[in-house]
């Protein structure tokens, strides 16, 4: 499933907890965020993912590995759902990536 922001994802996750059919579907699908281009840095919100640096964040179902696509490169990182949530709710996806995820 593709989500606009972390809040959409959490809403779906919450609904999945109350609906067994939705839970099965939710647990077996990849989670994907495709941030919109941000014209002003630091404008990411939990409601709407925005970044000029991060092009896609994808987490396959049943996995703690998150795939990140930058302009022409892709990387994988072990992230818990809580860590992914902290990243998606940060003010800047790019700054968070550089500070906490980027490999030296």
What string of pLDDT tens digits covers the 104 residues of the chain?
899 999 999 888 888 888 888 777 777 889 999 999 988 888 999 999 999 999 999 999 989 999 999 988 999 999 998 999 999 999 999 999 999 998 76
What is the SS3 assignment for 36?
A: strand
**Is 68:77 a contact under the CB 8 Å cutoff?**
yes
Give the 3-state secondary structure percentages of the chain, helix then strand then coil, rounded to 5: 35, 20, 45
Tokens 């699908």 -> residue: 29
Beta-carbon contacts of residue 18 (< 8 Å; ≥ 6 apart)? none
Provide the whole-model pTM. Answer: 0.86
């Amino acid at each position: 499933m593709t989500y606009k922001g972390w809040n959409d994802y959490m809403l779906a996750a919450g609904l999945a907890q109350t609906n067994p059919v939705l839970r099965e579907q939710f647990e077996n699908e990849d989670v994907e965020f495709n941030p919109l281009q941000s014209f002003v840095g630091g404008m990411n919100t939990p409601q709407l993912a925005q970044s000029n640096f991060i092009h896609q964040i994808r987490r396959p179902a049943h996995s703690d590995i998150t795939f990140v696509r930058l302009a022409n490169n892709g990387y994988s990182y072990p992230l818990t759902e809580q860590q992914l949530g902290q990243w998606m709710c940060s003010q800047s996806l790019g700054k968070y990536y550089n500070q906490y995820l980027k490999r030296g």
